[in-house]
Structure 1
Amino acid sequence: MVKTLKEISELIDGELLGDGEIEIIGVSGIKEAREHELTFVANSKYLREIERTQASAIIVGQDIPYDGKPLIRVDNPYFAFVKVLELFAWRKRKTTYGIHETAIIGDNVQIGEMVSIQAYTYIGDNVQIGDGTIISPFVYIGDDTKIGNETLIYPNVTIREDVEIGNRVILHCGVVIGSDGFGFASVSDRHHKIPQIGTVIIEDDVEIGANTTVDRATMTNGATIIKRGTKLDNLIQIAHNVVIGEDCCIAAQTGIAGSAELKDRVTMAGHSGAVGHITIGADSTVFAKSAATKDLPAGSYVSGFPAENHAQQLRIQASLRRMPEMLQAFTRLQERVTQLEAQLNTTDDKSDDS
């Protein structure tokens, strides 16, 4: 795909400085970019690269002076570059619409317009698939599942029965939606499986990374819910009956235990976790390798295990780093106290003799 610089500047609502007829065929980082590619500068440490880059044009902030290199000035260079990336990414993806001859389609399946169902996909009975949805090869979709419009499902995704998926959802390779929750009743040293017969609801504009699993709720009327706009990284475990609010961001290797609730805009950093049946308030952050073990009020910043106030944890970590020197100082104090005690004892003995 080829776009002129003028067309791109109009797309991102930017101020064009330089030749608008330059043809752009791709996008790249400022160090890697070549002729007829577009790049961006959003971090001041890359300003020196503006003179050295081979890119034909650069997306920059409002404070960058024009020195002859074609520029597009915008308020947010990073977000503008994301919009250009989306433009080129969708044009590069080759999609054949229709149903591949090897796909297995169940009874009473409703398929919208401009849908792509690719090779070796299995779709169960009573499934609904919205307009513009793309289902890649080797996807399994269970009975009575509903999938919205313009959703993208990558290869080897498994969507179990009775699941609801909204519009513009992205499910990456290996995602499993609606697997059984980890529920067992222990009697006489044996574990008896508790049937998991609830559902999963994934709202609009959610993205779920590769090999992430979202368990179904336990009860008939229960649901594990991931709300609008939330983004999940690769390798995340979401247990049964969890509710994740809108616009949350959860990084890789995070685990959320059963019936926990994350309010809107919660951030869970890599390798963090939350125990079951707690609530993490809106706009909170749980830092990397930390575990939330109790309810957290809105706006919390916590770290450590168990997770506590992040500022307090930083003070604790700073103290721990000084521990060897503190122990040495304590040892010296002990030795000095021992010497002083010995001197006092000697003085007392002489007093007694006199």
Structure 2
Amino acid sequence: MTPQLTGVRLRADELVGENGVVSGPLKGYHHETYVLTMPGETRIVKLREPRERILWFDRRCFRSEEALLRELHGRISRIPAVHDVEGMALQVFIEGRTLKSRPWGDRRIPEPVHGQIVDLFRELAHVTPDTLEVERSCEAKDRADDGDCDGFLERLVVFVEEQVYEKNSADFGRLFTELGLHPDAFVQLRKNVSGLTRRDFCLLHADLHRENFVLDPLNQLWSIDWELAMLGDPLYDLATHLYLMSYPAEQERRMAEDWARAVGGVRPGSVRGWADDLERILAFKRAQSVFTDVIRLSLSLRDGSNVNWVRLPSAVRKLQTIMTAAARPLGLAEIPSRSRIAAALLR
């Protein structure tokens, strides 16, 4: 039986016509993505749309990723170009391999890659709120004033509290409670992450992990997936990057120090107090992951109306590890045992 084509796939077939090529869908959680080779052209573009019934746990600040990429052309090196195809703005597909697929051990990255990531942070520091003319999707009341790092982080805490915890409480409230995740955890979180130094804001990618870096055949590093970009505290971009990359300790330290030199060389006011504040923002990232991963891991165990028993042990281990890392910022009195976590997930 031939599987029914989705709307995205049908649009892809229409765009390339009889003489083009459609590849995909590519692997990805949030989007259904196809790579299109247009007839008579060498350019390869991506067509993607959000998957149906996918939960989104990240704040979005720009209305159009493609509009942002166009604005950044010539200001940020090695980002996808945008082409108009049949009235649609599509990103050029970057050919290469992501850092996640590279065969390096102990999560260490090579020095040339390290240097290119530092260069990206340096370029981002040049893009300030007053030099970026792209339509924003967040309301003015949801934007912190330039330099107000406490206000910037508080808005992210509010987003997790309202859009992840409270919004999903009807379906996952019992699970949160059984794991010891109560509303007062956000009171404790605010106490533990407040008091940040004022830093000058700039553009943040806000999602710089191994799958969003692509090494092309010339070993040039490209950054993709800019949909979570925002304007805010540059230290948040570094903290998010360190948290998602899970560097070996020595390379994490070097990345932080090189970030401070690079960004401070562009705007000294963007690195004020960074050494004291980095752990606070990392604590927020650990806490944020608890609420999002409780939901994601629970959903990953669903196999139709049954439980995917094969995935259960790894889900339990991962959730206990994540909760242990976030115990201090969330003020958790105890971490549930693996048997308690498994029972809660199964219920």
TM-score of the two chains, using structure 2 as the length reference: 0.22
Q: Whose Rg is larger?
A: 1
RCO higher in structure (CA 8 A, sep ≥6): 2
